[in-house]
Structures are given as structure tokens and as C-alpha cells.
């Protein structure tokens, strides 16, 4: 049965080049390809209580859930986890789109206009490390998360139209030296590691189009960690 669902579509940027490298030199890139596929398949999980299902198509991931607090939370957490795991373990970036709409999705298959809508939003508005979301999803985030929605949701206007995206780096924004929290030391170590891999991908002999993706992600990263100045930024000179 087709139901109203929160639908996320994510894909890995630069997948064709990564696969070509693995085919040309299996010892160098095949491990990265296998790890990326494992992350896509093993990070999400189905949960029939909240109507959560996921499907993997090559380098793309579809996640859907009921438009309830539990369902929305599951989609956002899984999308964030997949994005950050791919960055930290494989040094690959993802883009995504999340919409609210009709979808049939379970272990037998998936179809519905929300699948096409999420894919289109991913391609048109998704960017390196950025998961775009529709106006309806943004409103749902605000209703369900209330005052905490400001951490998860980013909005701006382009030519008079509102655009929204999920802040997958939100937990890197809030370490405060005046109010240390449990786990902050581990977060600082992870931030240093991510900053190092951003620098590495900007200074390595990568194609220009690949470096442009990492330049975009560096800007997003620096905006997130500058809130309190605790975590490691990546200088523009890099």
C-alpha cells in the first residue's frame, strides 16, 4: 500500500571514478569500494514499528519512514551516520535529498512519486556533505523538534525562494570550552581527523572537480566548528 512517507535519497559523489580506479588497480581502491558499500548496507536498519525501510542501489541509498517523531528521527540519524561514516572511513562525500510524499517501500520493493522527488532534489540541490530537504520536511522538523530544530535545519533564500538542508555536522557545532560535556574529548579527536582528511584531499593530486567538492565541504566544516572555536578548522590557504 502506498503511504505518506519521509523519503531520503543519498548518493556517493565520484563513484564512477572510484570504481574505475578499483578496476585499474584493485589493491589501491577496491578496499575503499567494498567499505563504502558495507557502510551503505549496514549502517541503516529496518524498523517496522516506525515504518522504516531502506534499499541500496549501487552507490545510492533510499531510506523511508512514517512521518512521525520516531520515523523522522530514524531517517535523519541514518542519513547523518551514513554521510559521516563515508567521510571518515572512505574519504568520499555524499549528497542527498529528503521529501515528504507517497511511497510504497518494503522488503519486496519500492515505488512512488516521492522516490522520484527525493532523487530529483538530491541531484538539483544536494551538494558535497549536504542533504537538501523540501519545504514540507523542513516544516515537519520544526514541528517535531521545536526549539532544537535550529540545530538540525539550515535555511536560506535563493532568488526569493526558501531552500533548506539538514545540518549533518550539527554535533560538531556545540562543544563549548565554558561547559565541557561527556564525550567532548572523543569529538575533538574525530574533528582533528576529519580536518586532516580535508587538508589531504585538497593538497593531493586530485582532479579539479574532486577538489571543488572538498572545497565546498571545507566551507561547511569551518562554518560548523567556528561557533565556539574549540574544534579544528581547515585554513583557506590549504
Nearest to 11 by CA among 54, 53, 62: 62
Name the band, by pLDDT with cuts 50, 70 and 90, for residue 227: low
Radius of gyration of the chain (CA): 18
Inform me whether the pLDDT recorded for 204 exceeds 80: no
Range with the poorest average pLDDT among 74-78, 79-83, 148-152, 177-181: 177-181
CA 197 → CA 28, 77, 100, 226, distances in Å?
17, 23, 34, 18
Dig out the grid coordinates for 64 from the structure. Answer: 523511508
Q: How far is Cα 9 from Cα 218, in angstroms, rounded to an integer?
A: 23
What is the rounded average pLDDT for all residues in the chain? 86
The model's pLDDT over 6-59, given as tens digits with 9 standing for 90+, comes to 999 999 998 888 888 888 877 767 788 889 999 999 999 999 999 999 999 989
Q: How far is Cα 30 from Cα 20, in angstroms, rounded to an integer?
A: 10
Structure confidence at residue 238 (pLDDT): 47
Q: How far is Cα 191 from Cα 65, in angstroms, rounded to an integer?
A: 30
Structure confidence at residue 183 (pLDDT): 53
Averaged over 171-194, what is the pLDDT?
A: 69
Secondary-structure class of domain 3-168 per CATH: alpha beta
Q: How far is Cα 15 from Cα 37, in angstroms, rounded to an integer?
A: 11
Name the band, by pLDDT with cuts 50, 70 and 90, for residue 66: very high
pTM: 0.88
Range with the poorest average pLDDT among 29-38, 142-151, 156-165: 156-165
Inform me whether the pLDDT recorded for 176 exceeds 70: no
Structure confidence at residue 95 (pLDDT): 94
Domain positions in the chain: 3-168, 172-225
HEC string of the chain equals CCEEEEEEEEEECCHHHHHHHHHHCHHHHHHHHHHHHHHHHHCCCCEHHHCEEEEEECCEEEEEECCCHHHHHHHHHHHHHHHHHHHHHHCCCEEEEEEEEEEEEECCEEECHHHHHHHHHHHHHCECCEEEECHHHHHHHHHHHHHHHHHHEEEEEECCEEEEEECCCHHHCCCCCCCCCCCHHHHHHHHHHHHHHHHHHHHCCCCHHHHHHHHHHHHHHHHHHCCCCCCCCCCCCC
Inform me whether the pLDDT recorded for 205 exceeds 80: no
Amino acid at each position: 500500500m502506498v503511504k505518506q512517507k519521509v523519503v531520503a535519497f543519498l548518493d556517493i559523489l565520484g563513484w564512477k571514478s572510484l570504481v574505475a580506479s578499483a578496476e585499474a588497480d584493485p589493491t589501491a581502491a577496491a578496499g575503499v569500494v567494498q567499505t563504502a558499500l558495507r557502510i551503505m548496507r549496514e549502517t541503516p536498519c529496518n524498523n517496522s514499528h516506525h515504518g522504516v525501510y531502506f534499499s541500496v542501489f549501487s552507490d545510492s541509498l533510499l531510506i523511508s519512514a512514517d512521518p512521525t517523531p520516531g520515523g523522522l528521527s530514524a531517517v535523519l540519524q541514518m542519513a547523518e551516520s551514513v554521510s559521516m561514516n563515508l567521510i571518515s572511513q572512505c574519504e568520499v562525500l555524499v549528497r542527498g535529498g529528503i521529501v515528504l510524499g507517497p511511497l510504497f517501500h518494503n522488503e519486496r520493493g519500492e515505488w512512488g512519486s516521492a522516490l522520484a522527488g527525493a532523487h530529483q532534489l538530491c541531484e538539483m540541490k544536494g551538494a558535497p556533505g549536504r542533504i537538501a530537504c523540501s519545504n514540507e520536511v523542513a516544516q515537519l522538523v520544526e514541528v517535531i523538534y521545536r526549539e532544537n530544530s535550529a540545530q538540525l535545519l539550515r535555511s536560506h533564500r535563493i532568488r526569493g525562494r526558501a531552500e533548506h538542508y539538514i545540518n549533518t555536522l550539527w554535533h560538531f557545532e556545540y562543544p563549548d570550552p565554558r561547559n565541557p560535556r561527556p564525550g567532548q574529548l572523543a569529538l575533538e579527536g574525530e574533528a582533528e581527523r576529519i580536518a586532516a582528511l580535508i587538508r589531504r584531499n585538497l593538497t593531493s593530486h586530485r582532479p579539479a572537480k574532486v577538489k571543488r567538492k572538498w572545497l565546498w565541504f571545507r566551507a561547511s566544516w569551518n562554518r560548523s566548528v567556528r561557533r565556539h572555536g574549540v574544534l579544528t578548522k581547515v585554513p583557506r590557504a590549504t
